[in-house]
Structure 1
């Protein structure tokens, strides 16, 4: 009887998981496989049509072309900088939300952090374009603006992805028992010592979980770079240019493998921190 019930449970579980797993394998992993395979194709020089014959020219060009190499380093640097900026802003805010603010203030801050996620990406990006304009409100108020370029790109991406860092860090602080903080204070530790020795190790997986979002989203972004980046070239808009403007799908696919490999490597690195359990 028990064996029959176990078999029935497994059959029900199989029927429950079959649709999402099929979608994952066919639509998601299948599209990635097609992307990687198409990186070894080429295009006809006269018609621009994709030629499905195996060649490693695109991979060689991606690895040896100085423009692509510089864009890769710039993209990785921007993604890392945005992640650090988001963490620097999120940690004190999340600490205040979780351990200091009253219930009403905490709710208001959670709403304030998450509300921008409901706004259009383009509206937010163009709002920052107007704000950072040489003749924009920031220039009127302070007499200074970074204008359009690398700094504007980092500022805009930091704003766009900050909620994805705040919420995992806030959840991590929420899970820390208040008794640990009280015990540290009773033993004579300063607030800084408690933050460094007690809270930081416990909250770090939450920071690492948030960094997965901020790093990967910054790595693949091309819209914000186009809107506020000026002449800044990152991998995202180079891939877009090769795909849409140059009509070179195989080269765009080869370039797309760079952020894909970077994200996989980052996930493997973050796995050791316990970040994946906090995502």
Structure 2
């Protein structure tokens, strides 16, 4: 009985469909990558971009003044009210100011902590310090916010009272780990040989920081600022707990969804932080920081 010919064509004919599919994907890297990304891209398109599209669509509707029913007619009245009313412009500027203040405070605190973790601590100590930074994230948001409310109350440890200052302090504490961890990861990739070379060439501490450390750590700082800025810009719970009578964008959205029952106007207000973040991302992208993450 003659043996089957041992040729490439005969070997290919004996392959199972699974093997043929595997060989096809091995030869076509683009198809393999498309299949791997199809599920997350589909989820992104439906859950995130779809939600944003629904938000923008709802912002163009209006609510009946008497019944509160939605009237699905395209109108720019919500955006006109938003941009022509001084109180809403003030709230938007105040929200941006709070987000910028929180980001700068977290940067000032996080950078030396991250540098000490990455360059001064031993490998064993680094692991414990990372755990210490992550530990506050395991606690409930409300527990941490109400803890600051207790400390800032007139009978509390600090007794500073409520308002914008209390809001900035609380948000700075809540989002500090989101600034420390990206900067730590960026500084950990910084070769120690560069710092040693700068010292050998006579550069003092400030010049080494300005010419070596900061340029290489800047992408990590941008990554951390995206977290702290966006989370502070849209927060409304901390403002409700420690903000007193202060109003930020998140509170306006919440109040118009609940008490005012004006979903279209709430959607219009909610587009403001989205647009601000898009402008911020475009600005940092021009610096090249996002490409170096």
Q: Shorter-chain TM-score: what band? A: over 0.9
Partner of 1:93: 113
Per-residue deviation, 1:107:
1.8
- Measured against aligned partners, the alpha-carbon deviations of 1:110-139 in whole angstroms (never above 9, x if no partner) come to 11111111111111111111111110123x
Partner of 1:55: 75
Distance across 1 between alignment mates of 2:38 and 2:203: 53
Distance across 1 between alignment mates of 2:290 and 2:215: 16
- Measured against aligned partners, the alpha-carbon deviations of 1:121-180 in whole angstroms (never above 9, x if no partner) come to 111111111111110123xxxxxx321100000000000000010011111111111111
Partner of 1:23: 43
Matches within 5 A, 1:181-196: 181-196=195-210
Deviates more, 1:228-237 or 1:269-278: 269-278
Partner of 2:226: 212
Per-residue deviation, 1:6:
4.9
Corresponding residue SS for 1:24: helix
Corresponding residue SS for 1:245: coil
Q: Does 1:237 align with 2:264?
A: no
Total equivalences in the alignment: 273
Corresponding residue SS for 2:198: helix
- Of 179, 182, 201, 1:165 maps to 179
Matches within 5 A, 1:105-254: 105-138=125-158, 145-254=159-268
Change (3 A) 1:19 1:88: same
Answer yes or no: is the 8 Å Cα contact 1:59–1:254 preserved in 2.
yes
Answer yes or no: is the 8 Å Cα contact 1:216–1:263 preserved in 2.
yes
Partner of 2:6: none
Distance across 2 between alignment mates of 1:15 and 1:180: 41
Answer yes or no: is the 8 Å Cα contact 2:25–2:31 preserved in 1.
no
Per-residue deviation, 1:192:
1.8
Answer yes or no: is the 8 Å Cα contact 1:209–1:278 preserved in 2.
no
TM-score (norm 2): 0.88
- Measured against aligned partners, the alpha-carbon deviations of 1:72-113 in whole angstroms (never above 9, x if no partner) come to 000000000000000000111111111111223222211111
Partner of 1:40: 60
- Measured against aligned partners, the alpha-carbon deviations of 1:238-259 in whole angstroms (never above 9, x if no partner) come to 1100111100000001111110
Corresponding residue SS for 1:135: coil
Change (3 A) 1:57 1:102: same
Distance across 2 between alignment mates of 1:8 and 1:201: 39
Corresponding residue SS for 2:119: helix
TM-score (norm 1): 0.93
Corresponding residue SS for 1:188: coil
Answer yes or no: is the 8 Å Cα contact 1:98–1:173 preserved in 2.
yes
Answer yes or no: is the 8 Å Cα contact 1:205–1:273 preserved in 2.
no
Where structure 2 has 5 or more consecutive residues not aligned to the other structure, the ranges are 1-11, 13-19
Partner of 2:15: none
